[in-house]
């Protein structure tokens, strides 16, 4: 029971701090999971990858951590505490906004949050990249990912799955990383 | 304001379909097609306002958007139906994946695949971030805020709450409305 409460507190807090989406909280999540539950870099990256392969919001991968730490109850606790606090806030803010309407301060808050969200996303990419890029093959895969998403219109999931399979085959055949 | 009353069941099933077939950034686009083009449940203006709110607030943007659209159409039950529909397929997939992963962590090929996927995904996300921030990277004021946020988070390693407490008031001050 204590573990479930701890999970609810951690992921509930992350939910409310996720400005600009889930990527923003990745570094903090990685640190908290390592400190409180001993989840290492590699495991974190693997679960992150599972999220990339799943349909719907990638960040639902958080429930995998919940499952690892406390089984089905852990998965449910993490999923709900990651969705509900920000969800309730959004519901309330949406209703308030419909009553107030356009205001110069709303514009200001939105413009102010945009660069912060981008900065946090950069930190999220950096945290995942640093943990995921362990050798030359992985570095080449990451560069291929950047190029494909910027230069082509291919659905990212096909890029991730296709290049991931190819990369795994190369690593397996050559024994590199 | 004569929005037809949308059955909860239909709302849930439509969002369930989006949750099952959309990957990554596609979710916002799918919701736009559903809400504006196919069903005319929201006007373009309503949709853009909801999108702006869902991006400005904490939480997953696609989930926030589904909550706002559901609330607009059917109140609290609508918000719940849309949110659950969107996340359920992925949640089931990930629960199954979690059980497999717990059994096969030392499976050589599986580990290589997850490692390779993470490497590609970090590249893809870097690209997505660059594309999303393209406009931001052109203004000195936002580049300074982006850099400061990144350095405080990744180099100084402040806790996220501390970063936000420092950066949000500063950024709002810089972007304050001027008469």
Chain B interface, best mutation among A24, A61, A106, A118, by max B CB count within 10 A: A118
Say if residue B41's pLDDT is above 70.
yes
Query: How many Cβ atoms from other residues are within 10 Å of residue B3's Cβ?
Result: 13
How are the residues of chain B apportioned to helix, strand and coil, as percentages rounded to the nearest 5?
80, 0, 20
Cα B34 to Cα A14: distance, rounded to the nearest angstrom? 30
Structure tokens at B19: 């949750």
Q: Could you tell me what percent of chain A has a pLDDT over 90?
A: 61
Q: Does A41 touch chain B (CB under 8 A)?
A: no
Q: How far apart are CA B127 and CA B131, in angstroms?
A: 6
Check CB contact of A160 with chain B, cutoff 8 Å. yes
Residue-wise pLDDT for B42-62, tens only, equals 998 888 888 888 888 899 999
B3 pLDDT exceeds 60? Answer: no
What average pLDDT does the segment B116-131 reach?
Answer: 90
Most confident of A38-42, A112-116, B85-89: B85-89
Which pLDDT band holds residue B116 (cuts at 50, 70, 90)? very high
Residue B179 has pLDDT above 50, yes or no: yes
The pLDDT value given to residue B4: 63
Q: What is the mean pLDDT of residues A33-54?
A: 93
> What is chain B's mean pLDDT, rounded?
90
DSSP category for residue A37: H
Q: Name beta bridge partners: A56.
A: B23
B163 or A102: which leads in pLDDT: B163
CA end-to-end distance (rounded Å), chain B: 33
- CA A123/CA B153 separation, integer angstroms: 7
For A125, which of B59, B112, B122 is closest by C-beta distance? Answer: B122
B44: buried, middle or exposed (CB in 10 Å: 19+, 13-18, 0-12)? exposed
Q: How far apart are CA A161 and CA A148, in angstroms?
A: 13
With CB atoms and an 8 Å threshold, state whether A134 touches B122. no
Q: CA–CA separation, A43 vs B152, rounded Å?
A: 25
Question: With bands split at pLDDT 50, 70 and 90, how would you rate the model's confidence at B1?
Answer: very low
Whether residues B87 and A129 touch (CB distance < 8 A) is answered with no
If you average pLDDT over every residue of chain A, what do you get?
91
Q: What pLDDT digit, counting tens, does each position of A49-107 carry?
A: 999 889 999 999 999 999 999 999 999 999 999 999 999 999 999 998 878 777 788 78
* pLDDT score of B25: 60
Query: Is A9 part of the contact surface with chain B (CB cutoff 8 Å)?
Result: no
Taking CB atoms and an 8 Å cutoff, what residues of chain B touch A133? Answer: 119, 122
Specify the pLDDT at position B135: 86
Q: Which two tokens stand for residue B139?
A: 């203004």
According to the per-residue pLDDT averaged within each range, which of A87-91, A125-129, B124-128 is highest?
Answer: A87-91
What is the model's pLDDT at position B162?
93
pLDDT (0 to 100) of residue A39 = 95
Q: Which helix (H) or strand (E) holds A113?
A: helix A104-132
Give the residue carrying structure tokens 């059980």.
Answer: B99
Helices A156-174, B108-132: axis angle to 10 degrees equals: 140
Partner B contacted by A152 (CB < 8 A): no
| Mean pLDDT, residues B134-159 taken together | 94
Task: Reduce the DSSP state of residue B133 to 3 states and report it.
Answer: coil
Q: Rounded to 10 degrees, what is the CA torsion of B13, B15, B17, B19?
A: -140
Mean of the pLDDT values across residues A25-49?
94
* Cα–Cα distances in angstroms (integers) from residue A122 to residues A127, A174, B107, in the given order: 9, 32, 32
Higher-scoring residue by pLDDT: A155, A141: A141
Alpha helix ranges (H) inside B57-156: 61-103, 108-132, 140-150
Domain spans in chain A, listed from the N-terminal domain onward: 3-132, 133-177
The C-alpha atoms of residue B68 and residue B6 are separated, in whole angstroms, by 14
CA B67 vs. chain centroid, Å, equals 12
Please provide the distance, in angstroms rounded to a whole number, between the alpha carbons at the two ends of chain A: 40
Tell me the chain A residues in contact with residue B42 when contact means C-beta distances shorter than 8 Å: none
């Amino acid at each position: 029971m204590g573990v479930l409460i701890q999970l609810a507190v951690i992921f509930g807090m992350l939910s409310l701090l996720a400005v600009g989406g889930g990527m923003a909280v990745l570094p903090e999540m990685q640190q908290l999971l390592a400190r409180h539950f001993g989840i290492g870099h590699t495991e974190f990256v693997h679960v992150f990858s599972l999220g990339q392969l799943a349909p719907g919001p990638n960040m639902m991968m958080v429930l995998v951590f919940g499952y690892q730490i406390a089984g089905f109850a852990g998965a449910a606790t993490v999923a709900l505490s990651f969705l509900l606090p920000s969800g309730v806030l959004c519901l309330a803010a949406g209703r308030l906004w419909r009553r107030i309407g356009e205001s110069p301060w709303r514009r200001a808050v939105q413009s102010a949050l945009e660069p912060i969200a981008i900065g946090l996303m950069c930190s999220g990419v950096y945290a995942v990249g640093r943990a995921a890029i362990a050798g030359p093959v992985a570095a080449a895969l990451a560069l291929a990912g950047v190029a494909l998403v910027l230069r082509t219109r291919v659905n990212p999931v096909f890029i991730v799955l296709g290049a991931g399979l190819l990369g795994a085959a190369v690593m397996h055949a050559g024994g590199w990383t | 304001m004569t929005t037809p009353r949308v059955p909860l069941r239909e709302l849930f099933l439509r969002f369930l379909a989006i949750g099952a077939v959309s990957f990554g950034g596609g979710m916002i686009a799918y919701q736009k097609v559903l809400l504006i083009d196919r069903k005319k449940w929201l006007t373009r203006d309503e949709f853009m306002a909801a999108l702006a709110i869902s991006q400005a607030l904490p939480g997953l943007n696609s989930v926030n958007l589904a909550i706002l659209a559901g609330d607009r159409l059917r109140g609290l039950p609508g918000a719940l139906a849309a949110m659950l529909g969107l996340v359920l397929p992925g949640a089931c997939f990930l629960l199954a994946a979690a059980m497999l992963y717990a059994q096969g962590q030392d499976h050589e090929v599986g580990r290589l695949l997850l490692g390779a996927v993470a490497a590609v995904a970090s590249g893809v996300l870097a690209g997505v971030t660059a594309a999303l921030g393209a406009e931001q990277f052109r203004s000195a004021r936002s580049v300074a805020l982006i850099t400061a946020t990144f350095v405080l988070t990744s180099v100084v390693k402040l806790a996220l709450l501390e970063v936000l407490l420092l950066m949000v008031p500063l950024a709002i001050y810089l972007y304050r409305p001027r008469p």
